[in-house]
Amino acid sequence: MTSTIRIENLTKTFRGHDGGTTNAVDNVSLEINKGELFFLLGPSGCGKTTLLRMIAGFIDPTNGSIHFNNRDVTHTPANKRNTGMVFQSYALWPHMTVYDNVAFGLKIRSLTKTEQKKQVVAALDAVQMIEYADRKPTQLSGGQQQRVALARALVIKPDVLLLDEPLSNLDAKLRNELRNEIRRTCKSSGITTVYVTHDQKEAMSIADRLAILRNGKIEQIDSPTDAYYQPQNRFVSEFLGDTNIIAGLLGKDATGKFRVETPFGKLRINRTAQPDQSEMLCSIRPESWRLAKTDSGEAIVGSVESTTFLGESTHIEVKVGKGTILAMVHGRRGVLSIPAIGEPIGLTTDPDEIALIEH
């Protein structure tokens, strides 16, 4: 039976050799829905792996509580929580075949050989590894080993599946292939899944929701789309990808609509309940800019400082006064529309594309 995970005021304090203390996880509260693929995302040292290991039962919290559905598992041993864990290092037994690695958890649960075979075959089939059942882990590629590790975690039908940076040891192409495979497998199984990564693209591409952590605290919990386009602070905005942070003063024009006065010019925004005449930061993603005529009246006008061709997109650095704006265009048509280096260029953006952050 899959579980809702409820975490309340969870803290883990570590004591250093000098006698000082550090809160690796600092008063964290969140709820993960039944069947959800939920990501813990953040830079190295932010507390995401410590939080995952407390959910697993490998680390005892200093304060707070963890519930699976209505069951308090805060101090329940790891082997009594019915969780499946997939590690960064795969942690397969090299002397066992793929079949025996996956069957191990069922054997210690004393299932009959007939039932073991039925469930192992189903688990290997789910990760497309049934034809490798008789091989040893050393005969498999890294991606194949990770699929076996996932099958081993799924076969015991856990209430919660926990993944600790499962793709970090793989090359970029294989990571991209396995992302969708993991999402397909987790969602088809219906198991509540908590996935730790520092890779923004990995989280953005397959998460239902994500929590972004910094220094042991949660900065934002949201869907990938909302976190990306409506970050709640500068850290989230910059951590999730390239962006333009532009300082400005929020005010209203003659029609009563909100605008932000910036060193680059006026930016229209869609807001109705923001205090007037307040200092704000605007976060605008490079792909949110559109090329516009320099005499349109609405455009920010600058000059092309540099361009970087990346295949599917081209990045443009635009010099505006003493500052620089990063913009992006897509495809061949976009490349052909970019003025030459040093030439004037106009940029505009939709008011909905501007996220306001407190200064």
Domain that holds residue 153: 5-237
Do 30 and 164 fall into the same domain?
yes
Do 188 and 262 fall into the same domain?
no
Do 176 and 268 fall into the same domain?
no
Residue 84 β-bridge partners: 161
Do 128 and 265 fall into the same domain?
no
Q: What percent of the chain has pLDDT over 70?
A: 97
Q: Which of 2, 7, 21 is nearest to 61 (CA)?
A: 7
Do 86 and 188 fall into the same domain?
yes
Task: Answer with the one of 205, 237, 269 that is the final residue of a domain.
Answer: 237
Tell me how many domains the chain contains. 2
**Mean pLDDT (whole number) for 201-224:** 96
Crossing angle of helices 113-126 and 172-189, in 10° steps, is 130
In this prediction, residue 277 carries a pLDDT of 62
List, for residues 230-244, the tens digit of each pLDDT value.
999 999 999 999 999
- C-alpha 329/C-alpha 331 separation (Å) is 7
In this prediction, residue 295 carries a pLDDT of 86
Do 233 and 247 fall into the same domain?
no
In this prediction, residue 285 carries a pLDDT of 96
pLDDT surpassing 70 at residue 273: no
Residues composing the chain: 359
List, for residues 107-121, the tens digit of each pLDDT value.
888 788 898 899 999
Q: How confident is the model at residue 276 (pLDDT cuts 50, 70, 90)?
A: low
Do 79 and 216 fall into the same domain?
yes
Residue 297 DSSP label: S
Point out the least confidently predicted range of 36-45, 91-100, 264-273. Answer: 264-273
174: exposed, middle or buried (C-beta count within 10 Å: 0-12, 13-18, 19+)? middle
Task: Answer with the one of 184, 207, 237 that is the final residue of a domain.
Answer: 237
Do 168 and 44 fall into the same domain?
yes
CATH value at residue 304: 2.40.50.140
CATH value at residue 132: 3.40.50.300
Consecutive H or E run containing 323: strand 323-330
Q: Which of 238, 203, 207, 209 is nearest to 221 (CA)?
A: 209
pLDDT surpassing 90 at residue 35: yes
pLDDT surpassing 70 at residue 267: yes
Do 227 and 314 fall into the same domain?
no
In this prediction, residue 274 carries a pLDDT of 60
Do 116 and 59 fall into the same domain?
yes
- Contact present, 245 and 281 (Cβ < 8 Å): yes
Task: Answer with the one of 237, 262, 291 that is the final residue of a domain.
Answer: 237
- C-alpha 251/C-alpha 241 separation (Å) is 28
- C-alpha 229/C-alpha 40 separation (Å) is 18
In DSSP notation, 138-155 reads GGS-HHHHHHHHHHHHHH
Do 219 and 248 fall into the same domain?
no
Helix %, strand %, coil % for the chain, to 5?
Answer: 30, 35, 35
Do 277 and 220 fall into the same domain?
no
